[in-house]
Chain A
Amino acid sequence: MAGIPAVLEAGGVSLRFGGVRALTDVSFAVRRGEIFSIIGPNGAGKTSMVNCVSGRYRPTEGRILFEGQDVTRLRPNRRAALGIGRTFQNLALFGHMSVLDNIMVGRHHLLGAGFLRGMAYWVGGAQREELAHRREVEEIIDFLEIQHVRKATAGTLSYGLRKRVELARAVALKPRLILLDEPMAGMNLEEKEDMARFIVDLNEEWGMTVLMIEHDMGVVMDISHRVMVLDFGRRIAEGTPEAVLADEHVRRAYLGEADEVVSGAGEPAAA
C-alpha cells in the first residue's frame, strides 16, 4: 500500500481567519485509487480543509501538492482544469439551468473549441468534438441514473436528485481527484445507499480518487479505505476505519466518552 504514489499531499496546512484558527498544522496524503474520508465534530475544520484543496481558501501556512505539483497558490479554476473536482456541502447547482447545461458547465475546460472555432461550428472539427463530448456526458448521465430529468430545470428537482446532478457535474470535469463535501447529508436511507454505490463505482470503475467528508459513520466505515479525524482544526488520528474507531483519542473527542457507542459500522454517532 505504501508504494502507491500520493495524488494529494497536504503538508503542515494551517488556516487562520483573524484570530480564529480553523486549521493547525494538518498533514495528510491521499493515495491514488483511494477513498479517503475526513470525519470530525461540527466545526472541526473539515470543510476548511477541503476548501484549501479546491482553492477556495488559501492556507496561511503549509503546502498542497496535487500529483507532485505545488498548487497552493493556484486559483480554483486552474486546479479544476488540472483535475480536482468538487461538490459542495450546500447544494450549489445553477438552479435556473437545465440538468444538461449544469453538466456541460463542468465540461468547460475540456471544451477545447474556443470562440472562433465555435463560430465555425459547421465547418471545422467542432462538430465531431461536440459529439464526443455529448457521448461522454450521456455516459455520466446514465451512470448516475438521471436520464429522466436531463432536460428538467435543476432547481425544480427533489433534493436527492439534485445531489446526484451535482455529482454528475463534478464528474463531467473528468477529475482524477474528486472532493465530496457531505454527499449524503439530508438523505434518507435508500438515497444514501444509492449515493454510496455511486461513490464506490466512481472509485473502482471510473478510477477516481475520492476525498470525502461525511457524517454518516456507517457509510464512512463501510466504503472508506482510510479515514482522518479532525478535532478543533487538528489531526488527531488517521488510519483504516477499524484502527480509527479503536483509537482512544477519537473515542474521546468524536464519538463521546461512553465506550459502548463504538461498535463498528453501526448507527451514526453524535455528529
Chain B
Amino acid sequence: MDTTLLFQLVLNGLIVGALYGVVAMSFVLIYKASQVVNFAQGEFLLVGAWVCWWMLTHWQLPIWAGFLFTLAFMTLFGIVLQVIVLRPLVGEPVISVIMATVGLSIFFQALMKWIFGVFAQPFPPIFTVERVHVLGLEVQSVYLASLGVSALIMLGFWWFFTYSKHGLAMRATAYDQQVAQSLGVSVPKVFAMSWAISAVVSAVAGVVVGVVNGVSSALSFYGIKVFPAVILGGLDSIVGAVLGGLIIGVLENVAQYVDAEWLNWGNMYQIAPFYALILILLIKPYGLFGTRNIERV
C-alpha cells in the first residue's frame, strides 16, 4: 500500500471537495430561497470562467480587474436570468421549472462553445511558484489558493446569513414567504438576490477550476457532481452542502485509489459519487441535514 499516494489523494479530495461544497452551497441557496432545482448550476461556472478568461487573455487585464469584472458580470447575469426566465414561472408546476433550467443548461453550453470554441484554453500563469510542500506532500499553489478561496466563500456565506439584513430576510423567505412579506421583505428581490449570489459564487469556483485545469465545457460537469453532494448533505441545508461536497471530493479520490490498487474496474473517479448518490437515496433520502418533509421530484 502506498500511503503517501493515499494521503496525496485525500488532500486532493479535500481541495476539490471544498470546491464542490462551494458550488453545492450556491445550488442550495437557490433551492432554499426560490424552490428551484437548478440544473444549470454547472453553466454558471462555465460562463464565469470564460468571461474571466476573455478579460485576461484578450483585454490583457490584470487578474484582480478581470476577476472583479467577472463578479459584476455574474451578478447581473444571475439577476437577468431570474427576472426574465424564472420569474414568469413562479407558481408553475415544478417539472416546468426544472425543464426550463435544463434548457438553460443546454443553451449556455452551446453558446459558450459557439463563442469560445470547443478546445480547452489555459489561463495565463498567475502564480510564480508552481508547487509548495505541505507536511511532506506536494501541492500545486493554485490548489492551495483554491482551498483558501473556498474557505473564504464559506466564511462569507456564514457571515451573510448570520449577520446581514438580507441574509436574514432570505432565511425568513425560505421559511415562509407570506410571513416574510408581512414583515416588509420583498420576495421578488430576495429571489433575484439569491440567483445573483449563486451565480457569482459559482463563477468564482469556475475561475478557480479554470486556472487549475483550463477552461472548457468540462467545467459544467461540476453542476452534475453537485447532486451527490447536496443529496448527501440534504437539499435544503447549506452546512450539509459543504460537508457533502467535502465527502464526495474525498470519496472519488479514495475510490480511484482503491480501484487502482485492487479492483481495476476503471473510471471509479467519475462513477463513485453516483453510486453514493443511489445509496443515499435508498438509505437516507433526506440527507444528513435535510428537512424531512421536502418533496422530491
Contact = CB atoms under 8 A, between A and B. Distances in A.
B296 interface: no
A106 B180 CA distance: 8
A94 B185 CA distance: 14
Given A80-B184, A105-B185, A108-B185, A56 B178 contact: yes
Contacts of B169: 105, 108
Contact of B183 (A95, A96, A106, A118): A106
A105 B178 contact: no
Contacts of B184: 77, 80-81, 106, 108-109, 173
B187 interface: yes
A169 interface: yes
Interface string B183-208: 11111000000000000000000000
A88 B182 CA distance: 10
Contacts of B264: none
A92 B165 CA distance: 20
A104 interface: yes
Task: Determine chain B's interface SS by DSSP, over half rule.
Answer: helix
B182 A104 contact: no
A54 interface: yes
Interface string B92-132: 00000000000000000000000000000000000000000
A80 to B, nearest CB: 4
A104 B175 contact: no
A95 B179 CA distance: 12
Interface in A101-120: 101, 104-109, 111, 113-115, 118
A77 B185 contact: yes
A76 interface: yes
Interface string A78-97: 00110001101000101111
A197 interface: no
Contacts of A101: 168, 171
B168 A104 contact: yes
A75 interface: yes
B60 interface: no
Name the residue in B163, B165, B184 with the highest tally of chain A Cβ atoms < 10 Å from its Cβ: B184
Contacts of A105: 168-169, 172, 180, 183, 185
Nearest to B166: A115
A38 to B, nearest CB: 18
A95 B174 CA distance: 12
Interface string B212-243: 00000000000000000000000000000000
Nearest to B172: A105
B166 A75 contact: no
Contact of A88 (B168, B171, B179, B180): B179
Contacts of B172: 94, 97, 105, 108
Contact of A77 (B166, B176, B187): B187
A96 B239 CA distance: 14
Q: Interface size bucket, A side?
A: 20 to 34
B222 to A, nearest CB: 27
A108 B181 contact: no
B165 A76 contact: no
A130 to B, nearest CB: 9
B177 to A, nearest CB: 10
Contacts of B180: 77, 105
Contacts of B164: 115, 118
A8 to B, nearest CB: 16
Contacts of A54: 182
Given A94-B176, A95-B175, A80 B182 contact: yes
Nearest to B162: A101
A85 B175 CA distance: 19
Contact of B176 (A75, A92, A111): A92
B185 A92 contact: no
A94 B179 contact: yes
Given A111-B165, A118-B164, A80 B183 contact: yes
A85 B181 CA distance: 11
A75 to B, nearest CB: 7
A261 B185 CA distance: 45
Nearest to B165: A111
A188 B76 CA distance: 53
A118 B176 CA distance: 24
Interface in A98-156: 101, 104-109, 111, 113-115, 118
Interface of A: 54-56, 75-77, 80-81, 85-86, 88, 92, 94-97, 101, 104-109, 111, 113-115, 118, 169-170, 173
Given A76-B178, A86-B182, A92-B179, 12 more contacts: A56-B178, A76-B181, A77-B187, A80-B182, A80-B184, A81-B184, A94-B175, A94-B176, A97-B175, A104-B168, A108-B169, A108-B185
Lowest 4 A-B CB distances belong to which pairs?
A109-B184, A80-B184, A76-B181, A111-B165
